[in-house]
Amino acid sequence: MGSIHPRLTQAQQSALCSQLGNVSLKLLYKASVHGYTAAAFHQRCDDQGPTLSVGYNNSGHVFGGYTSISFNQSGAWGNDGMAFLFTFNGEPSKKIDWTTANKGKLMYDIETYKPTISSVSQIRVLLIGPVGAGKSSFCNSIKSIFGGQVIKQALTGISGPTTTQFLTYDIKARAEGKPLPIVLCDTMGLEETTGAGLNVDDISSIVRGHILDKYQFNSLVPLQPESRAYKKSPGPQDKIHCVAYVIDANKISTMPSKLEDKLTAIRNKITLLGIPQFVLLTKVDEACPTVAKDLKSVYQSLYIQTKLQEASKRLGVIPAHVVPVKNYSQEQELDQSCDILLLSAVNQMLPGIYRNDSTLDII
């Protein structure tokens, strides 16, 4: 019998090995070759040490599990704190060009982007997320890239909502100082407690353009039409054209149910208004040691892939609109890989913001 090869692609093998301490894999058993019986499986896999089991279905999905304890037929239960399950969706890992030339292209694409509605010169992206997820840090990071140095204009924090106002950030290219065709709109952080953090009822006013810049949020009472901060007749340029939920990759699995309910309520409001929605999954370097060592491995990390899938399910946003990012926090200098990941996220949010004129009419 000739050599037996696994069906896993090299990229999938690399992703799995990176989570196991850069080990090498040896194929012990292949059902299509050795037989679809428990006896055939145990004959080849028992007492072999840590084992990775992989399955396939007709839809192209790849799934399986890892155990650090050897298989055996003793019939006794075992406790393995290292065990985990995994899945691949059958699609190849996303490939990003990490070169200087691509960074320049991404910046150029953003600088020269033109909304299809002539009355709108700058699209407005609303950032929504829990306290400490990285909304303000994302604003700082994008401004840093186009400013050519690490900038910390927006206040950031994790112990409480640092941003208490509705703040809009123009981004200027260093060369010309001309505002780019994108405005990032920062909001107060969401909190699970009722009466704390961003009031969900303020969302409709924000996306319709009724809330003025630097409006001081009130967690208990949403903005009222009779308030001085309420813009009664907003134009197309005042409205929100895209919403990005900013979520910490480390906390997506432990998100409190009440906080998830608030995000669901917000998503439902945004969906009814026909506004494109994305998820920015932040702190991916803190979530995965492999990514911490090399940010360019972010789309090969099995752990990050599971977090992207989980964020898609929990927030109800299609997988293609969930993107990993790393914000600048303690860094003193720009990093090209970090820049390219952030710029790729912004570029992904720009196309298709206006798919037709009716989208703007619905808002």
Tell me the pLDDT of the chain averaged across its residues. Answer: 84
Distance CA 173, CA 67 (A): 51
Q: What is the pLDDT of residue 23?
A: 77
The pLDDT, as a whole number, for residue 3 is 66
The set of residues, in sequence order, having a beta carbon less than 8 Å from that of 185 and lying 6+ positions away, is: 124, 125, 126, 127, 166, 167, 168, 169, 206, 240
pLDDT given at position 158: 46
Distances (CA, A) of 241 to 267, 276, 304, 351: 14, 7, 28, 11
pTM higher than the cut 0.95: no
Distance set, CA 357 to CA 245, 269, 274, 354 (Å): 24, 20, 11, 7
Task: Encode pLDDT of 306-356 as tens digits.
Answer: 899 899 989 999 888 999 999 998 899 999 999 999 999 999 998 654 433
User: CA 357 to CA 116: how far, in whole Å?
Assistant: 9
* CB atoms closer than 10 angstroms to residue 233: 7
d(Cα 324, Cα 332) in Å, to the nearest integer?
A: 21
- Rounded average pLDDT over 122-129: 93
What pLDDT shows up at residue 155?
55
The string of pLDDT tens digits covering residues 251-278 is 999 999 999 999 999 999 898 888 899 9
Q: What pLDDT is stored for residue 363 in this prediction?
A: 27
19 band by pLDDT with thresholds 50, 70 and 90 = low
302 and 16 Cβ atoms separated by less than 8 Å: yes
Cα angle value 200/260/155 (rounded, 5°): 65
Q: How far is CA 85 from CA 64, 305, 314, in A?
A: 6, 12, 18
Task: Check pLDDT > 70 for residue 161.
Answer: no
pLDDT class for 154, splitting at 50, 70, 90?
A: low
Residues 151, 141 contacting (CB under 8 angstroms)? no
Long-range Cβ contacts of 30-33 (<8 Å, 24+ apart) = 30/4, 30/6, 33/1, 33/4
Two tokens at 354? 């206006």
> How many Å apart are CA 160 and CA 171, to the nearest integer?
26
What's the rounded Cα separation, in Å, for the pair 143 and 154? 10
Task: Locate the domains of the chain by residue range.
Answer: 10-88, 100-362
Judged by DSSP in three states, 170 sits in strand
Of 358, 354, 328, 349, the C-alpha closest to 152 is 328
Give yes or no for residue 110 having a pLDDT over 90.
Answer: yes
Superfamily holding 100-362: P-loop containing nucleotide triphosphate hydrolases (3.40.50.300)
User: In angstroms, rounded to a whole number, what is the distance separating the alpha carbons of residues 215 and 247?
Assistant: 24
Mean per-residue pLDDT, 187-199: 85
Mean pLDDT of 108-116: 89
CA-based nearest residue to 309, from 135, 63, 142? 63
Structure tokens at 323: 């993107």
Nearest to 209 by CA among 241, 186, 234: 234
